[in-house]
Amino acid sequence: MLRPLVYLHDSELVARFQRRCGLFLAPNGTPVRTDEPRGRWDHQDTNSNYNHKENGCAVSTCSRPQYEVRNWLLHVLFLFSAGLGHELFYITCLPCIHWNLDPFLCRRLVNMWTLVMYIGQVMKDLLKLPRPLSPPVVKLEMRVDAEYGLPSTHAMAATAISFTVLLSAPSRIQFQFEVGLLIALTLSSLVCLSRLYTGMHSVLDVICGALISAILLFLTFPYWEAFDRFQLTSPFSPIAALSLLFLLSYTYPELDRYTTTRGDTTTILGASAGCSVGYWVNQQLGQTFEPQGSLPVPLPTLTAQSLALGTARYLVGVAALLGTRQVAKTLSLQVLYSWYGVPKNDKSARRRREIEVPYKFVTYTTVGLVNSILVNRAFILLGLL
């Protein structure tokens, strides 16, 4: 039984996939061919743990071999697919479903995304299975290299997002289910394969991530309607969302070294808490911004005017969320640094639990509230709805 698991977790299996896709490590001391496109690992994120041992050597002192890209089409495709699991995608693209399609679908998405991501992040830090080794693997995302590998939360999120929309949309929007199934399979598969291409996960990590997400979808699907009713109508809903999700953030498993998982998990839980409270507030105010008419409604016709309005809503909404994030982050850090007597230029203090968890939770709860309550009302004032 262990043999297949060891094989699927083997770094060489990932390296072979990369080579098949045209991504090669350049030999040490050998310059990259000038007639080939090339790249170098030269980015360090201040939130990453570059001083701890990872894969047998200190990350900050390990040489970062150059690599050759021989298939730029696949390179761009997989890097784009990997981006579908990053914060920038979540904060800019997922809210578009709320602004341009149906807040109901966005609410379902946020709920399932939060559940699978929390379980996935906690499993990583409890199981503590390493990521693929480099060499032989080329690693293209150094920010999360100090994190553990199994399961792949990119694979979990992609599966949950794709199939939550597929399962929820038929009651809301008229579309051909087979086409939706094909799109869901394609998007989730691309994200899963991108984790192998970027060298951040083994085949076992990816398979386990997709399977765990599928199991969670299967187990929770019968209770989605009941949870919707509680979330929107119960007077305890906002209190439960804020207190429970903050508690989960603060009690996140402590590791013997710093990784970005606690901060990333707090970001997700904070955004979910803000959105949950916002949806409850909208329900109490009687303005939920859902499609009018008898459900399921036809898919909106794509015209030049609707495309222009959608683009305008996207730009205004993203500007609002990014501006909110910056203001809330700055203010919360100033308050916490002052409260704990930390010098303002001490950026390493952001890794302390008593600072990292509150500032990220407050920041992204505020972002979630603005997304779910204020952005659509701004659209009305600007004539974009």
User: For residue range 154-168, what is the model confidence (pLDDT) as tens digits?
Assistant: 999 999 999 999 999
- Is residue 48 a contact partner of residue 174, using CB atoms and an 8 Å limit? no
Among residues 195, 194, 203, 189, the alpha carbon closest in space to that of 76 is found at 194
Check residues 144 and 50 and name the one with the higher pLDDT.
Answer: 144
Given a cut of 70, whether residue 366 has pLDDT beyond it is yes
CA gap 59, 354 in Å, rounded: 26
- 28: confidence class by pLDDT, cuts 50, 70, 90: low
The predicted model gives 64-69 an average pLDDT of 73
Given a cut of 70, whether residue 98 has pLDDT beyond it is yes
- Is residue 371 a contact partner of residue 274, using CB atoms and an 8 Å limit? yes
Given a cut of 80, whether residue 91 has pLDDT beyond it is no
Quote the pLDDT of residue 45.
Answer: 35
CA gap 65, 73 in Å, rounded: 22
| % of the chain at pLDDT higher than 90 | 49
Query: What tens digit of pLDDT does each residue of 306-333 get?
Result: 889 888 999 999 999 999 999 999 999 9
Given a cut of 60, whether residue 235 has pLDDT beyond it is yes
Look up tokens 């553990």; give the residue. 148
Among residues 213, 232, 206, 123, the alpha carbon closest in space to that of 164 is found at 213
Quote the pLDDT of residue 36.
Answer: 38
Among residues 176, 121, 118, 186, the alpha carbon closest in space to that of 152 is found at 121
The predicted model gives 340-357 an average pLDDT of 86
Q: Kindly give, in sequence order, each residue whose CB lies less than 8 Å from that of residue 208, ignoring residues fewer than 6 positions away.
A: 150, 151, 152
Among residues 320, 297, 331, the alpha carbon closest in space to that of 373 is found at 320
Supply the pTM of this predicted model: 0.84
CA gap 148, 130 in Å, rounded: 5
Among residues 356, 324, 323, the alpha carbon closest in space to that of 337 is found at 356
Which residues are designated catalytic? Answer: 154, 201
Q: Kindly give, in sequence order, each residue whose CB lies less than 8 Å from that of residue 105, ignoring residues fewer than 6 positions away.
A: 97, 165, 168, 169, 172
Structure tokens at 87: 């914060």
DSSP annotation of 301:
P
Structure tokens at 352: 């302390």
CA gap 218, 137 in Å, rounded: 34
Quote the pLDDT of residue 261.
Answer: 86
Whole-number average pLDDT of the chain:
84
